[in-house]
A and B are shown apart, each in its own frame.
Chain A
Amino acid sequence: MSAPTGHGADPDLTPMLDMVFQLVTFFMLVINFKSASLDQTLKLPVAGSARPVDSGGKDKLLILNITTGGKLSLYGRSIDVESYIEGEAQVSRLTAKREGKSIEPGGDLPEIVVVRADKTTPFSMVNKVITSCQKVGYRNFAMRAMNKEEGQ
């Protein structure tokens, strides 16, 4: 058996680099930063008629994560329901005003309120959030649910 000659092997790294860049591109395309606003710890209810809706980013959404205790969860922080909704409604009115569409106080706001409530949340808690939204002018709601039980 001959001993290693000591000549350094010089592999061609180009194909490996190509493959790695392709993988990086794939992950960059599928990464979804919007999902950060969704509290993934919530267990959503199951509803057969719930359908995935992709408006292509045209609809303005107000996502409300409601925990079992009836608190709003925003990026992992627990926040007060009424002050948050009032603040968002004010922002919506100012945005509409800047776009030349004036919305009177109590008038219909264009945003769709996305209700993501834990399946064990009592109705009184969910109703409190919905009523707060209605008071400030939100009319369109989307109740989020899963099509089927997880793991099926």
Chain B
Amino acid sequence: MSRRRKERKQSGVALNLAAMLDMAFQLLAFFIFTFKPSPVEGQISLRLPPPQAVKAKATESVKAGSNENNPKEAGVETLVISVSATSGGRIQSLALGEGTVANVPQLERQLQTVLADADLKFEQVLIQVSPRLQYFELMSVIDACTKQKLPSGQKLSKLSFVELPEGDGG
């Protein structure tokens, strides 16, 4: 018995690694060809309240012409931004409340001033948008809004959208 054991130990097993290497190379080739690193995407988190009927008091500061599913929350002070579009879907004009704003950076500065004012107590922003406006232009307006902080120190995340009737401002 002991002699047999000794014999086994002495005769080394020669593994043929070539087959395993072939398989490993095939796996490697598969992963290399299917590897496609996707770009890192960011996101803007929003809480969009459900559509509600227009309340008489809430429409005071809203420009005429908004449609029926105005999602303004009762009892919450709402700041209205209106964005009209050119026929190509670019921003034609911007308005904050009743005042006209030249461009998005100016809108951002005005929002900063208005939302920082503790007396005004705005908590949500309603964006009235022309249906033709391209998504990237809308995102530039959303971006300007979500950068703002409320007097409480919280970031502004309560946004809602209303589609302006076709042909309004465009």
Contacts and interface: CB of A to CB of B under 8 A. Distances in A.
* A joins B in a complex: yes
Interface of A: 13-14, 16-17, 20-21, 23-24, 27-28, 30-32, 35, 38, 40, 44-53, 112, 114, 116-124, 126-127, 130-131, 134-135, 139-147, 150
22 contacts: A13-B18, A17-B20, A20-B21, A23-B28, A27-B32, A47-B44, A47-B142, A48-B147, A52-B41, A120-B135, A120-B136, A121-B135, A122-B89, A123-B129, A123-B135, A134-B48, A134-B50, A141-B46, A143-B44, A144-B43, A145-B43, A146-B42
Chain A contact residues: helix, strand, loop or mixed = mixed
A51 B155 CA distance: 14
A93 B76 CA distance: 30
Interface in B7-48: 17-18, 20-21, 24-25, 27-28, 31-32, 34-48
A131 B143 CA distance: 20
B139 A122 contact: no
B85 to A, nearest CB: 8
Interface residues of B, number: 49
B131 interface: yes
Contacts of A127: 129, 131, 161, 163
Given A32-B38, A134-B50, A124 B24 contact: no
Nearest to B48: A141
A144 B21 contact: no
Contact of A49 (B27, B69, B129, B143): B143
A140 B17 contact: no
Interface in B127-165: 129-136, 138-140, 142-143, 146-147, 161, 163
B35 A123 contact: no
